[in-house]
Structure 1
């Protein structure tokens, strides 16, 4: 695909609604993931975040659990002006400075509950310091995804695409990757290159210590 024709934009909407990631679309279109992301944003194909209705519509839910979806935004028409698409996000922000914490995702060999413990205590410490905490994790069986651990919780896959989507909505002062284990650590360099502020240990230092051969030479 070279041009954003109406047909291609409609195809892009359908692909995202069917769950295709940017990197999968990039492979089909022979582009990079960031090129597809830029095309998608240029076309207005953006995710919106919805609140999980924990009360089954019986009464209003206030638990800040969010998930993303791709819905074609309705048009708002004002007299004398062209129709404008309005993305209906349900994210409730407080206005306080925000720090995002990346969780560990699914428990598996080499990555378990010890990282979740670290994420929880990071959230508690940041809350005591006056920050809103945003937890990103895809594992509902962990303590970090409890309703009272963070200010807002996003049930999203820990991928480059999904994290950038949340960063663009939340605009955090920084992102903490060091407490979630291998999954967020592997994303640190790419996130920093995309302009995401990484708090704590620099991605370059993380990358060096993850390189066993380099770390062995450094330790000698």
Structure 2
């Protein structure tokens, strides 16, 4: 599978390289034509800092940010993003004048939640949602609904890759988009042309990685 890998370079910083593998992959919401390997972006300090630097450039210093809601294992990027926003003069309304890095929990039934000990980091806080990739927007909408349910205020959404420009009227601040991967497609399982052609499934994928079949 890795033999079909190629790389896309980030606009504004060619040192950032996204590894892309073409094939037939299954997510929890759809079938997709490419797997985006963000492993080193999430785990290497230098790459995480570079990603955060690009994402922070689109936020104005007048936009308050109290908490960054991290999905897809992006806590390292989230911490660097908080640092970049602080250096840029982004305001935090928190008593300690610092930004919280918060990760929601997924219940066994798929429900997203914040435990009692972290709810104060969401309630009445100005939040930015940070994701690895946004394909259909389903997970993002679920996260938005959860943040609003717990009393948070959504100030922005950032992602390493997004196949859509907006979700629920909020523009996605992404390092990569479909112009960087023009052949990238997502299909509902029942309408997947790769399945109709009986092409084998390469792997099950999510924000944390892939499992070959």
TM-score (norm 2): 0.30
Higher relative contact order (CA 8 A, sep 6+): 2
The structure whose residues are more often helix, as a share, is 1
Max radius of gyration: which structure?
A: 1
- The structure where strand makes up a greater share of residues is 2
